[in-house]
Chain A
Amino acid sequence: GENVEQHPSTLSVQEGDSAVIKCTYSDSASNYFPWYKQELGKGPQLIIDIRSNVGEKKDQRIAVTLNKTAKHFSLHITETQPEDSAVYFCAARMVQGAQKLVFGQGTRLTINP
């Protein structure tokens, strides 16, 4: 089955700097890669996603890149703000069968003012 590895587990950056979180996946047939933001006491919220036919996608200060050959994808947050502090999860959706969505272990991002 699919396995998703996420790094780093914690990340601390100064406000205004950029943050990068990286994930690798094992199933080369996976075709959908969402990123979720989870704030304390809340469920995960989708912030950006990318499909396997696209190499990069941007939405204001956030962007996601996908390298299908290397089976890894990354989340980039520029001009970080205090409200970006949260736990971020990457995920990969398997193509076969139930098309399960498999999550990484999460990255706790802290933005220091």
Chain B
Amino acid sequence: EAGVAQSPRYKIIEKRQSVAFWCNPISGHATLYWYQQILGQGPKLLIQFQNNGVVDDSQLPKDRFSAERLKGVDSTLKIQPAKLEDSAVYLCASSPLRNTEAFFGQGTRLTVV
């Protein structure tokens, strides 16, 4: 079974630029998560989808971050404009249902300079 796929693996941008990350969850998984992991810290949930609907985005900085999951499969996370403090690894995860185990992708390492 294929795992959670994310791209790109690495991205370097200047502050105030925009960037987008892509995630393809495990086939059939209804729940999709985007986490932000700052160096030396645990993952912090940014947004959680159930199929193509948002069930939690309470920690998403909505003035600059946006995410969508059209058709309830792939998802994209966008940052516009980026700030230096957005430098982190962005992890996508999926699970069959909300209350089951979550499987993580390898993440996208973003560096904002």
Interface of chain A: mostly helix, strand, loop or mixed: strand
User: Would A46 and B42 count as touching, CB distance under 8 A?
Assistant: no
A46's partner among B50, B56, B101 (CB-CB below 8 A) is B101
Residues in chain A near residue B103, CB distance under 8 A: 46
Q: List the B side residues contacting A70 at CB < 8 Å.
A: none
A97 touching B101 by the CB < 8 A rule?
no
Question: Is B104 engaged at the interface, CB distance under 8 Å to the other chain?
Answer: yes
Is A99 in the interface zone, CB < 8 Å from B?
Answer: yes
Are A100 and B42 interface neighbours, CB within 8 A? no
Does A6 contact B42, Cβ atoms closer than 8 Å? yes
* Complex: A102 Cα to B44 Cα, angstroms: 7
Count chain B CB atoms within 10 A of each CB in A32, A34, A99 and give the residue with the most: A99
Determine the distance from Cα of A104 to Cα of B44 in the docked complex, in whole angstroms: 9
B104 and A103 contacting across the interface, CB-CB below 8 Å: no
- Contact check, B42 vs A43: say whether CB atoms are below 8 A apart: no
| Residue total for B at the interface (Cβ-Cβ under 8 A) | 24
B102 interface residue per 8 A CB criterion: yes
Residues in A4-49 with C-beta less than 8 Å from chain B: 4, 6, 32, 34, 36, 41-46, 49
- Listed in ascending order, the chain B residues whose CB lies under 8 Å from chain A are 4, 33, 35, 40-45, 48, 50, 55-56, 91, 93, 98-99, 101-107
Sample of 16 more A-B contacts, CB < 8 Å, known A4-B42, A101-B33, A103-B42:
A32-B99, A34-B102, A43-B107, A44-B104, A45-B104, A46-B102, A89-B42, A89-B43, A98-B48, A98-B56, A98-B98, A103-B35, A103-B44, A105-B41, A105-B42, A106-B40
Which residues does A use to contact B, with CB under 8 Å?
4, 6, 32, 34, 36, 41-46, 49, 89, 91, 93, 97-106
What are 13 A-B contacts defined by CB distance under 8 Å? A6-B42, A41-B106, A42-B106, A43-B4, A44-B104, A46-B101, A97-B55, A98-B98, A100-B56, A102-B45, A103-B44, A106-B40, A106-B41
